């Protein structure tokens, strides 16, 4: 998108959503305008994070990208946690994970596959991604199986242990992939140099930091407005919290990454696209979800880590098919279709439930 248009739309939607929030009582309108505005602020936040990461040197930058790459989703979720909308938090986590693994990855693989017969990437990375995703699925699945008949404090204790295990797993993964085995996991399959080292950021260091700050503040503000109106909108439309969280909110937080991944795939950099899509899922499952458990403790209203059977089934199914397709380090258009079809099945059912 042209920069001018982006800035214009960013400002316009922000002003509209502010007016809607302060001067009207029309909650669907408040909700819709906050959603639109969030789309743009989340995109800016993502770009600013990348830019700051660029100036931070390789390792610190990798760490920044890996922990704040989903900052917008984290901020929205924190406001949902604050409002006690735990079901919607979990639905949005679920939606982000399946959206990344099925819709983003699927569209990328499909779009790339239309232009290139077979696209290849590092199978070692695919294998590790699959194993990590499995850790996440296990960590969410086990408590749901075992928790029937436990007391609240026992559930809370197990949730904290699992959250700690997931965060340890995530940071050791960063250490593994950014430090000890950086080279083995690189996207060297097609002989092209890494893009990241070539692209110069648009902004200076100072401007990047300023944008990071501004975008974070506005994502927070718009998130609060969105959360403020979400319940009454859900009621008015007759949509379930599950669907709003797993579809609408998940799409808003991830739209920028979605387009970036598809764009990369069409330039035959499927490895980068996979990294964006799967990496983002992992970040949400292994970092954002456990952080939210701790955040809920700070708010004095502990959220447990027990997802519903629906959500676990959806996450498990998404990660199984994504692993099955990516495990050999090669993709084609049909594999993209398969992922999108599974996404359609899951969202159809989420809509009906």
Rg of the Cα atoms in the chain: 20
Give min distance, CB of 186 to its own copies, in A: 14
Among 8, 60, 118, 195, binds its own copies (CB under 8 A): 118
E-strand stretches of 107-168: 119-120
Should residue 328 be labelled a site residue for its own copies when binding is judged by CB under 8 A?
yes
Angle subtended by helix axes 123-146 and 152-175, to nearest 10: 170
Alpha-carbon span 282 to 108, nearest angstrom: 18
Should residue 204 be labelled a site residue for its own copies when binding is judged by CB under 8 A?
no
DSSP 75-101: HHHHHHHHTT-HHHHHHHHHHHHHIII
Alpha-carbon span 100 to 29, nearest angstrom: 28
Alpha-carbon span 274 to 288, nearest angstrom: 19
Alpha-carbon span 73 to 71, nearest angstrom: 5
Biggest alpha carbon distance in the chain? 57
**Residue 36 or 316 with smaller CB distance to its own copies:** 316
Q: Which two tokens stand for residue 113?
A: 């596959």
Options 44-52, 69-77, 123-131, 256-264: segment touching its own copies (CB under 8 A): 123-131
Should residue 334 be labelled a site residue for its own copies when binding is judged by CB under 8 A?
yes
Nearest to 185 by CA among 116, 127, 136: 127
Beta bridge mates, 120: 330
Should residue 309 be labelled a site residue for its own copies when binding is judged by CB under 8 A?
yes
Should residue 349 be labelled a site residue for its own copies when binding is judged by CB under 8 A?
yes
Should residue 210 be labelled a site residue for its own copies when binding is judged by CB under 8 A?
no
Alpha-carbon span 6 to 9, nearest angstrom: 5
Options 49-57, 170-178, 205-213, 288-296: segment touching its own copies (CB under 8 A): 170-178
Q: Which two tokens stand for residue 303?
A: 């959220």
Alpha-carbon span 20 to 33, nearest angstrom: 7
**Residue 109 or 292 with smaller CB distance to its own copies:** 109
Alpha-carbon span 296 to 314, nearest angstrom: 24
Options 63-71, 167-175, 228-236, 271-279: segment touching its own copies (CB under 8 A): 167-175
**Residue 36 or 337 with smaller CB distance to its own copies:** 337
**Residue 213 or 341 with smaller CB distance to its own copies:** 341
Options 168-176, 193-201, 255-263, 266-274: segment touching its own copies (CB under 8 A): 168-176
**Residue 18 or 320 with smaller CB distance to its own copies:** 320
Give min distance, CB of 263 to its own copies, in A: 23
Alpha-carbon span 29 to 37, nearest angstrom: 12
Should residue 1 be labelled a site residue for its own copies when binding is judged by CB under 8 A?
no
Among 18, 134, 214, 295, binds its own copies (CB under 8 A): 134
Please tell me the count of residues contacting its own copies according to CB under 8 A. Answer: 61
Should residue 237 be labelled a site residue for its own copies when binding is judged by CB under 8 A?
no
Map tokens 């995530």 to a residue. Answer: 170
Question: Do residues 88 and 307 make contact, with C-beta atoms less than 8 angstroms apart?
Answer: no
**Residue 118 or 217 with smaller CB distance to its own copies:** 118
Q: Which residues bind its own copies (CB under 8 A)?
A: 117-118, 123-124, 127-128, 130-132, 134-135, 138-139, 141-143, 145-146, 150, 154, 157-158, 161-162, 165, 168-169, 172-173, 176, 180-181, 184, 309-310, 313-314, 317, 320-321, 323-325, 327-328, 330, 332-335, 337-338, 341-342, 344-346, 348-349, 352-353
């Amino acid at each position: 998108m042209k920069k001018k248009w982006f800035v214009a739309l960013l400002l316009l939607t922000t002003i509209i959503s502010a007016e809607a929030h302060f001067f009207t009582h029309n909650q669907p309108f408040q909700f819709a305008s906050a959603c639109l505005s969030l789309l743009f602020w989340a995109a800016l936040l993502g770009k600013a994070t990348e830019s700051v990461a660029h100036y931070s040197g390789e390792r610190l930058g990798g760490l920044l990208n890996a922990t704040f790459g989903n900052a917008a989703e984290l901020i929205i979720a924190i406001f949902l946690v604050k409002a006690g909308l735990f079901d919607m938090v979990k639905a949005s986590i679920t939606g982000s994970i399946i959206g990344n693994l099925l819709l983003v990855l699927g569209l990328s693989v499909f779009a790339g596959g239309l232009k290139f017969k077979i696209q290849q990437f590092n199978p070692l990375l695919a294998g590790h991604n699959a194993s990590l995703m499995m850790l996440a699925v296990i960590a969410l699945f086990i408590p749901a199986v075992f928790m029937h008949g436990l007391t609240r404090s026992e559930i809370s204790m197990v949730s904290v242990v699992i959250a700690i295990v997931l965060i340890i797993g995530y940071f050791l993964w960063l250490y593994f992939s950014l430090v000890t085995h950086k080279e083995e996991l690189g996207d060297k399959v097609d002989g092209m140099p890494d893009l990241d080292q070539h692209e110069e950021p648009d902004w200076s260091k100072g401007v990047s930091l300023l944008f990071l700050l501004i975008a974070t503040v506005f994502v927070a503000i718009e998130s609060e407005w969105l959360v403020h109106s979400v319940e009454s909108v859900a009621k008015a439309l007759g949509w379930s919290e599950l669907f709003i969280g797993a579809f609408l909110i998940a799409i808003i937080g991830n739209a920028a990454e979605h387009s970036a991944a598809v764009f990369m795939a069409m330039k035959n950099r499927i490895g980068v696209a996979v990294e964006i899509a799967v990496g983002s899922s992992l970040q949400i499952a292994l970092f954002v979800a456990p952080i939210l458990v701790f955040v809920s403790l700070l708010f004095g209203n502990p959220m447990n880590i027990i997802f519903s059977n629906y959500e676990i089934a959806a996450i498990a199914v998404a990660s199984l098919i994504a692993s099955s397709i990516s495990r050999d380090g090669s993709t084609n258009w049909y594999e993209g279709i398969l992922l999108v079809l599974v996404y359609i099945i899951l969202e159809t059912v989420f809509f009906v439930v």
